[in-house]
Amino acid sequence: MSTLSGLSIKSILNRKMLVSFIMGFASGLPLLLTITVLQAWMKEEGVDLTVIGLFALVGLPYTVKFIWAPFLDRFTLPFLGRRKGWLLVAQIALICSIAILGFTNPGKTPWMVAVAAFLVTFFSASQDIVVDAYRREDLADEELGLGSSLYVNGYRLGMLLASGGGLIMADHMSFSMVYFILALCMLPGVLTTLLTPEPLIPSGTPKTMKEAVLNPLFEYFSRQDALWMLAFILFYKIGDTMASAMTTPFYLDIGFSKTEIGTVVKLFGFWATIIGGLVGGILMLRLGINRSLWVFGFLQATSTAGFALLARVGHSIPLLSGVIAFENLSSGMGTAAYVAFMASITNKKFTATQYALLSSLMGIPRVLASAPTGFFAKNLGWASFFITCALIAIPGMLILFKFAPWGSREKELDRQ
């Protein structure tokens, strides 16, 4: 245990982990500025609900960012290096676009709001592409677990500042000032980009756009377990995702007040998720990514079944607190391992393209699997619905037998 403690402290207190955390914060902060905060501003300005709903389309760049990721793998700007050059450009453009969004007028010129919001999401998605590539290339394989968990926790803190902090500030100042302040909150990311070293460029990087587009696909699908790993990415968190889509209606249906939900589920649950991500990252230092996927996946499925118990008992603050603590801790650990796994299977020659493709694939279950959850909950009842969500996690776990059986070590693939 002392060895684990010493290893964990040494691994946390270094430049690479701090960079992972700050870059996660810089990636998470812009996300809700075009969703939660913008929706509140538009509602306050009397914008029609139909128009507010259509604004979800400005988030399209997050889904299709793999389209321009090869461009960022292929070309290097004449300053700072292959990753840092593009990262600085994306961050400066992002700060400017957030500020521009703050100076628009949702009530009078919603089309200008849409253009500015689209620019925010485009430059935010571009920053995500380069940050993911930088993290993979900067961290050694054994550091990916903890580095990924710190990145995820930084991401969540950025989202919390933008959504919670943004809405609180909007009660005391104009939304324009809120956006200006949050644009300035991106400066730690810029400073980190300027100060952190550029990762080493591996040999064999793309020399043409054709190589940048095709070689990542050829390299990935030449692997023995390529399709199984894609199937795993699709199914590993599908049960957890389906359950999460219906939790708020569930809490209200069994008698919890909005205040109880906000206090226990949102505030207490947020910190449980943060702790879970950090604990998961530390445990991955000892277990490795493959074994962590087994352990954390089992905990995820078990915690989902905990909602079925809550459905049987009904309104109980102590039980709700226990279920939320367990579910968010296990979800935080599972997400950390999930992100670390995706990073570990990318090739450093074209990290941006492969990771952008994998992360886009990761988002498919969030949309498609969540769509029918209301129908299932209505027809199965809450307890049976959550048991079903727990059982749906089993196929994702079984796929691990194909490429990451419990007794195996992480594959030493040549992705340098």
Q: Is there a common fold for 1-201 and 206-416?
A: yes
- pLDDT beyond 50 at 149: yes
Q: Mean pLDDT lowest for which of 3-7, 326-330, 381-385?
A: 3-7
| Mean pLDDT for the stretch of residues 109-120 | 91
Annotated domain spans of the chain: 1-201, 206-416
- pLDDT beyond 50 at 2: no
> What would the two tokens of residue 401 be?
């037998």
Instruction: Please tell me the distance from the alpha carbon of residue 140 to that of residue 137, in angstroms, as a whole number.
Output: 8
Instruction: Indicate the CATH number for domain 206-416.
Output: 1.20.1250.20
Range list of H helices, 103-186: 110-138, 144-160, 166-170, 175-184
Please check whether residue 126 is in contact with residue 64, taking contact to mean a CB–CB distance below 8 angstroms. no
End-to-end CA distance of the chain: 32
Question: Which candidate, 57, 20, 36, 59, places its Cα nearest to that of 145?
Answer: 20
Instruction: Please tell me the distance from the alpha carbon of residue 142 to that of residue 233, in angstroms, as a whole number.
Output: 20
Burial 157-175 (b: 16+ CB within 10 A, else e): bbbbbbbbbbbebbeeeeb
Question: Which candidate, 305, 338, 332, places its Cα nearest to that of 404?
Answer: 338
pLDDT digits (tens, 9 = 90+) for 24-77: 999 999 988 988 788 888 888 887 878 777 777 888 888 888 889 999 988 889
Which residue type is seen at 408?
A: S
- pLDDT beyond 90 at 81: no
As a whole-number percent, the residues of the chain with pLDDT over 70 amount to 93
pLDDT of residue 366: 64
User: For 265, which DSSP code?
Assistant: I
Question: Which candidate, 147, 154, 241, 162, places its Cα nearest to that of 189?
Answer: 154
Please check whether residue 55 is in contact with residue 42, taking contact to mean a CB–CB distance below 8 angstroms. yes
pLDDT digits (tens, 9 = 90+) for 91-109: 999 999 999 999 999 888 8
Q: Report DSSP letters for 200-243, one per residue.
A: PPPTT--SSHHHHHHHHHHHHHTSTTHHHHHHHHHHTTHHHHHH
Q: Report DSSP letters for 179-195, one per residue.
A: HHHHHHTTHHHHHHHHH
Q: Mean pLDDT lowest for which of 21-25, 43-47, 392-396?
A: 43-47
- pLDDT beyond 70 at 11: no
Considering the entire predicted model, what is its pTM?
0.81
Q: Mean pLDDT lowest for which of 130-139, 274-283, 345-354?
A: 274-283
More confident residue, 409 or 157: 157
Pick the CATH number of 1-201 from 1.20.1250.20, 1.20.1090.10, 3.20.20.150, 3.40.50.10860: 1.20.1250.20
